[in-house]
Amino acid sequence: MKTYLAASLCLVPALACGSVAVPSPQALWKEIQSLQKANAIMPESTPFQTGSRTVDPYTTDLANAAAIRSIQRSGGIQKVRRYENGSLVVKENYNSHKRLVGVTAMLKLKGYDTGDRNWVMAAYKPSGANVAFGKVGTCIACHVMVRRQDFVFAPPPAQMLPVSTWKAFFPKQGINPAYLALIKKHPNNLVQ
């Protein structure tokens, strides 16, 4: 997968960001589709794990080979201090019927945005239509909470947001009762 990703960064129309070639939202979507087809489940993740919101109470995390190597070399998501260049992590969001309702992704590109750990953030509809791409402030504001882990959260129940923090980031969303139950069951796993 790393070879394909590296090749796509050079061959597809790219967005200029300083001297870094950033793939277009469509090119990144193709990479995401490759991970979906390969069922490239991220270490420590499980299909249809508990999501935090009522609109998407199930999630599945995917990762490419570079991200998986980073996790394995470090001994787990919470121990990663820097992901390898080209790492791609994806969160598939599913509704209560386990139907895909959205996809978010983070692509690590050396030199892209050093202040925010060089992550290109992206959000898509299930069709692949781009919703957000690039330096997405709302994504960064939440992910900075796990800056020691290079902005990547471990799946619940390993890491969860406190209810007050969760409500601050999702004020118009309902919290998934199953997520709330995990918070109560694992209070020591809250991100501080």
For residue 157, is the peptide bond before it cis, meaning its omega torsion is within 30 degrees of 0? yes
| Residues 12-30: tens digit of each pLDDT | 344 444 457 899 999 999 9
Domain parsing of the chain, residue ranges: 2-189
Q: Are the C-beta atoms of 49 and 59 separated by less than 8 Å?
A: yes
Burial 65-102 (b: 16+ CB within 10 A, else e): bbbbebbeebeebbebeebbbbbbbbbbbbeeeeebeb
pLDDT for position 192? 86
pLDDT for position 8? 34
**Average confidence (pLDDT) per 10 residues, the chain, 192 residues:** 31 46 96 98 98 97 98 98 98 98 98 93 98 95 96 97 95 97 98 91
What's the pTM value of the predicted model, to 2 decimals?
0.89
**Which CATH code fits 2-189?**
3.50.70
| Residues 31-60: tens digit of each pLDDT | 999 999 999 999 999 999 999 999 999 999
The partner residues of 16 in beta bridges, in order of sequence, read 21
Please report, for the chain, how many H helices and E strands are present, in that order: 6, 8
